[in-house]
Amino acid sequence: MKTIWSLAGVLLFTSLALGQGHAQSTPAEARIAQARGAIEKHPDYYSSYNELAWALARRARETGNPSYYEQAEEALRHSFRLQPDNLEGKKVQCWLMLGKHEFARARELARELNRHVPDDVLVYGFLADANAELGNYEEAEAAAQWMLDLRPGNIPGLTRAAYLRELYGDVEGALELMRMAYEQTDLGELEDRAWLLTQMGHLHLVIHQDSEAESSLTEALRLFPRYHYALGVLGELRMKQQRWADAVELFELRYAAAPHPENLYSLGEALERAGRSREARRVFRTFERQALRESGGEDNANRELIFYYIEHAHKPAKALRLAQREATRRQDVYTLDAYAWALHANGRHREARAQVDRVLKVGARHSLFQSHAKAITASLDPVKVSR
């Protein structure tokens, strides 16, 4: 499942790990060029390969293209050949595991690194991200707090604290922390600033501040045109506004920039709402094929596939099997919500209620969670209309 908060979206590590970029290219492109230039001059310096791997991972976030992770792994192999198990290389390796949604493996490596360097802010960031994605929120919170204790006000610590505040229902507090991070971000870091504005747009949307969301997202796209994260959240805003045609256009642009199956699912829903049923069916068929192709991997669109089987394909048994498998991997609120909805679709309302209660207990104010909880509760205690 790739969400706006997935590692490609959450990790603002480069402000700690790398230097500043150049205006004539994106920050990641500039750093890739710098690292390759350094390698050409000194091919036996393992640190240059680490810098290249960091930059390639950053480029993966800018573009939504996971092939950059493969290139980063190749750079790391060179680094480890020159200096086996060097610390900086292991840190990049952990980041790449998070990027590929290998959250359990990333947590184990982060724990190992933390034992060796217990005062490293980045390593605590890895722990915060891996635990949050696995649903271990208390551990994630402890790691984020260490980040801020070790280096008060650091940007990666602020963004992680903001994510957790949103999960706990304090959206206004999350916005405050994101603004603090944005105000500290260098003006030349256009993609970082666009990412932060996108998160602020998302948070405004959660608390129904639509005009503020519009302003944040418009600015994000001005700074970083066709930015796939911003296009996605702006598409959600257009869906809320029932501007279906505009939503279709935005989701088409996002899929062109980042052709992941979950982005196709949003497009199919927008097309359906726009009354373009034939196109929606074609998009959904393509989505299903693509999602099934990657369903067995860690980085997948299984959450969207679960909802597709329930809401569109009317195959609740398939949805439940998939949800049960995902729930064995991770216990975050998004996975548990999908599991609850699959149980509900199969008539297992009491089990569904137990799962949705776990979601609500965390405190997230996601409208979908509230809608699912209401429907599940109604199934357990239907309103009687006659005596």
Give the residue from 303, 4, 13 showing the smallest Cα distance to 163. Answer: 4
Examine residue 19 and state whether it is found in any structural domain, yes or no.
Answer: no
> Are 336 and 135 within 8 A, CB to CB?
yes
Is residue 257 located within the same domain as residue 286? Answer: yes
Q: Which of 293, 291, 298, 338 is nearest to 319 (CA)?
A: 338
State which of 252, 268, 300 marks the end of a domain.
Answer: 300
Residue 311 covered by a domain? yes
287 and 328 assigned to the same domain: no
* Any domain includes 227: no
Residue 289: inside a domain: yes
pLDDT score for 382 = 62
Shared domain check, 313 and 265: no
Residue 4 included in any domain: no
| Owning domain of residue 351 | 307-382
Q: How far apart are CA 167 and CA 342, in angstroms?
A: 22
Query: Does some domain include residue 290?
Result: yes
**159 lies in a domain?**
no
C-alpha Rg value of the chain to the nearest Å: 21
How many structural domains comprise the chain? 2
The tokens describing 179, both together, are 């603004």
Q: Which residue bears the tokens 């605590």?
A: 124
Q: How far apart are CA 224 and CA 230, in angstroms?
A: 9
Residue 48 CB partners (closer than 8 Å, separation 6+): 35, 38, 39, 42
User: Domain boundary residue among 300, 322, 339?
Assistant: 300
User: Which of the listed residues 284, 300, 316 is the one where a domain comes to its end?
Assistant: 300
pTM for the complete prediction? 0.90
- At residue 377, the pLDDT reads 96
Shortest CA distance to 141 belongs to which of 129, 150, 151? 129
H helical segments located in 117-243 = 121-134, 137-150, 155-167, 171-184, 190-206, 210-223, 228-240
pLDDT at site 269: 98
Indicate if 360 and 319 belong to the same structural domain: yes
- Same domain, yes or no: 294 and 311: no
C-alpha span between 132 and 289 (Å, rounded) = 29
Per-residue pLDDT of the chain (387 residues; tens, 9 = 90+): 444 344 434 445 444 444 433 345 888 999 999 999 999 999 999 999 999 999 999 999 888 898 999 999 999 999 999 999 999 999 999 999 999 999 999 999 999 999 999 999 999 999 999 999 999 999 999 999 999 999 999 999 999 999 999 999 999 999 999 999 999 999 999 999 999 999 999 999 999 999 999 999 999 999 999 999 999 999 999 999 999 999 999 999 999 999 999 999 999 999 999 999 999 999 999 999 999 999 999 999 999 999 999 999 999 999 999 999 999 999 999 999 999 999 999 999 999 999 999 999 999 999 999 999 999 999 997 654 333
User: Are 153 and 127 in contact, with CB atoms under 8 Å apart?
Assistant: no
Query: Residue 257 falls within a domain, yes or no?
Result: yes
* 312 and 269 part of one domain: no
